[in-house]
Structure 1
Amino acid sequence: MKLKNVLKSAGVLGAVGLGSLASQAMADQEFLLTITRPNQLHVIDMSSNTIARTCDIPGPFGTGSIALSPDNTHAYVLSNGTKDVYGFDIRNCDITFKAEQSSPTEQVISMQSIAVSADGKELYTVQNPIKKLSDRFEVEQPRLAVFNIKDGMDAKVVRTFPVDRRITKIAVTDENEVILGGADLKGINPKTGEVRMVSKLASWEKGPLWLPPDAFAMHSQGEQMHEYIMPYVTAKFDSEDWNFETAEWWWGISRVDLKTGKATRDEVLPFQFIIFNFVADPRNPDILYGSFNTLSKHDISKKETLIVHDMPHTYYDLNISGDGKTLYVGGTSSDISIHDSDTLEKIGSIQLTGDMSTSDLRVATIRN
């Protein structure tokens, strides 16, 4: 080969190599977020499944609930027994936001409910207030509370609106409606307080042969599909005598598309074992994975359970990588179990410094 051809080939290869490096440098970064006792936020690099940094959260552990900013660079967490909210820049652990929700005359608990507006300017919690009087406590009306994130380390409520009781997990649509996970799924406009029914559960009208659903929004971690999934259990009886032993038992889901705010509700699987949380495969919305004492894979278009993998202990929740290939199963204890989504076989684990208890597993994707 002539020298100029060698140099030309080397130049092409060099350009390809530089292009490959540039592509790698510009790749999106995926981080898995969770909280462990005594009270630490862990930022896990999903490319290596190692802890990138650990952020100390002021105050005692809450429930481990986490909400992400729209650009995924900031995480907002409930702390101090879910009375306070702290915001962290997950790139360096800087605390950028603080809201103390209680006062000397009122105690406020927010349970799991925390979310950030679609434009990243506001933060929402559902406050469950108790008035502290000299001789008694008085339970007050729950309310949606709105904070301005720009208020930083001394954020105060800027407006409130009354909401139902029993609300736990909340989420925000692209049109900035707050989805409220309670006895029914409702949506509230955080500017006006107007409420609409999104999906009937406790108040559904399926007839006398159906058991009213038992629904619980402890974890709804559908960021990869930009959705909110609320599981429920129900039963269909063969007569109005309601014989529980002969009834057909079903898992159902209320599923909200956070882009449009539209919801679907359906009984999707025969009830065979407990599932605490569902997450969808971003490659196929009909494929759901569930976790509790087992890790399971389901095709809801066929109402079939495809694979069940026994776990060594209870895991409350799970999440999935953006490419849909890897499952992360956590909560309850101090280990995150990593699994191949095709086979559910375990392919790794991440050991944390304390137990996660009821904490979320969130995937924060930082776009480059």
Structure 2
Amino acid sequence: MKLNNTFKSAGLTGSLALGGILSAVAPAAMADQEYLLTVTRPNQLHVVDMSTNTIARTCDIPGPFGTGSIALSPDNTHAYVLSNGTKDVYGFDIRNCEITFKAEQSSRTEQVITMQSITVSADGTELYTVQNPITKLRDRYEVKQPRLAVFNIADGMNAKAVRTYPVDRRITKIATTAQNEVILGGGDLKAINPRTGEIRMVSKLASWERGPLWLPPDAFAMHSQGEQANEYIMPYSTAKFTDESMDMETAEWWWGMSRVDLATGQAERMEIFPFEFVIFNFITDPRDSNILYGSFNTLSKHDISQKKTLLVHEMEHSYYDLNISGDGKTLYVGGTSSDISVHDSDTLEKIGSIQLTGDMSTSDLRVATIKD
């Protein structure tokens, strides 16, 4: 009995020692994995390993290309993509391309279009789209009120909307806060409670009354991809006139933004730097919320605390959107064509390129970080 207990004790001691060694080693051996996601024509979801900047896998999406809008599950293992000309939503496990979710939004008597507007609830149980429906009558189409549609992700391959609520027109990009409000990017920036349908104003833009010397902001939310900083950005342009003659030639032109902290739901709205060239999308440096990057015909870097453009890099062609690595060191600039241009965030110099099988057109460029 004593010998047996001795062996048990030794075995336990050895197990504890080994466990201690493994615990000490594990954090160094395990690291989060970042993947860059985008959609290309004819209709494929690409999963790019950001540690090597190579394509890890390519998933075929049913139906014809939509707009390439992508929403991520909270654990980043699943991506939900608008397809079939923006009528349907498909969910993919990005680790193996398995299709786990399907929502056909149209019916025999009603056609539904969703323009970019897709997001997932904070707890990962629901998916939200903004539907733009029309009733198909014998002799005409009847345009109906846009609505937020709520789907249960657990319904899998035959998901139907379980709740709908009326919303404004012109809504494009949407996102979900930690409080599970859905941010609605339209003429103004609003938020809706997907349980009750209650809507609140987050940031006035089109309805912003600033006085006679300010031009009403022109807001644009085709791409708002702030997962690395946990935020939503609505860019806008505006002008301040020198006098009531409202002479466009002498006006001060500005880029501005309404930026929502998705952890709190709180927003800030401000002019950020002079309007000198067109920008399609902003992304925030995760290391410093004062540093923004922008893309279109140029890749640019800005310090909004100084309202100053720091660097501008001319691009080989137009790029609609961009994203950034979790450490803030590397920029990925995509959309429009079939290549993702890779840049150093300090200098904006090009350091690589990722060639895809087709053009991205209006597709998102999302970063999915899978925790080990």
* TM-score, normalised by the number of residues in structure 1: 0.94
The 3-state SS of whatever aligns with 2:66 is: coil
Letter in 1 for 2:37: L
Q: Give SS of 2:129's match.
A: strand
Residues paired across the two proteins, number: 354
User: In the alignment, is residue 53 of structure 1 matched against residue 57 of structure 2?
Assistant: yes
Deviation at 1:355, TM superposition (A): 0.2
Distance in 2, Cα, partners of 1:27 & 1:38: 34
Question: Which residue does 2:202 correspond to in 1?
Answer: 198
What is residue 370 of structure 2 aligned with on the other side?
Answer: 366
Q: Does 1:236 align with 2:243?
A: no
Structure 1 residue 321 and structure 2 residue 335: aligned?
no
TM-score by length of 2: 0.93
Which of 331, 337, 340 is the equivalent residue of 2:341? 337
Shift, 1:241, TM fit:
1.5
Which of 117, 124, 129 aligns to 2:128? It is 124
Which aligned runs of 4 or more in structure 1 are off by greater than 4 angstroms? 17-21
Q: Say if 2:142 is the partner of 1:138.
A: yes
SS at match of 1:296: strand
Q: CA deviation at 1:26?
A: 1.5
Q: How far 1:24 sits from its partner (Å)? A: 5.1
Partner of 2:223 in structure 1? 219
Q: What residue number does 2:162 align with?
A: 158
What is the match of residue 45 of structure 2? 41
**Structure 2 match to 1:305:** 309
Q: Name the CA distance, whole Å, in 2 between partners of 1:20 and 1:208.
A: 64
Counterpart code for 1:105: T
Q: Which residue of 1 aligns with 2:294?
A: 290
Q: Give the aligned partner of residue 352 of structure 1.
A: 356
Deviation of the 1:22 alpha carbon: 3.7
Cα 1:256–1:137 shift into 2, 3 Å: same
Distance 1:18 1:203 in 2: 59
| Alpha-carbon shift at residue 20 of structure 1 (Å) | 9.1
C-alpha distance in structure 1 between counterparts of 2:312 and 2:25, whole Å = 40
| Cα deviation 1:120-140 (Å, max 9, x = unaligned) | 000000000010000000000
SS at match of 1:278: strand
The one-letter code of the counterpart of 1:178 is V
Residue 183 (str. 1) matches residue 187 (str. 2): yes
CA distance in 2, matches of 1:292, 1:21: 44
Q: Is 2:82 the partner of 1:78?
A: yes
Instruction: Tell me, in whole angstroms, the C-alpha distance in 1 between the residues paired with 2:166 and 2:244.
Output: 37
Q: 2-side partners of 1:351 and 1:20: how far apart?
A: 39
**Distance (Å, rounded) in 1 between the aligned partners of 2:236 and 2:26:** 46
Deviation at 1:18, TM superposition (A): 8.0
Matched, 1:246 2:250: yes
CA shift digits 1:66-91 (9 cap, x unpaired): 00000000000000000000000000
Give the letter aligned to residue 299 of structure 1.
D
Quote the offset at 1:239 in angstroms.
Answer: 1.3
Equivalent-residue separation in structure 2 for 1:258 and 1:72 (angstroms): 16
> Secondary structure in 1 aligned to 2:268?
strand
AA of the residue aligned to 1:253: M
- Taking structure 1 as reference, are residues 65 and 22 closer, same or farther at Cα in structure 2, changes over 3 Å only? same
By how many angstroms is 1:347 displaced?
A: 0.4
SS state at 1:131 partner: strand
Deviations 1:228-262 (A, max 9, x none): 00100000001122110100000000000000000
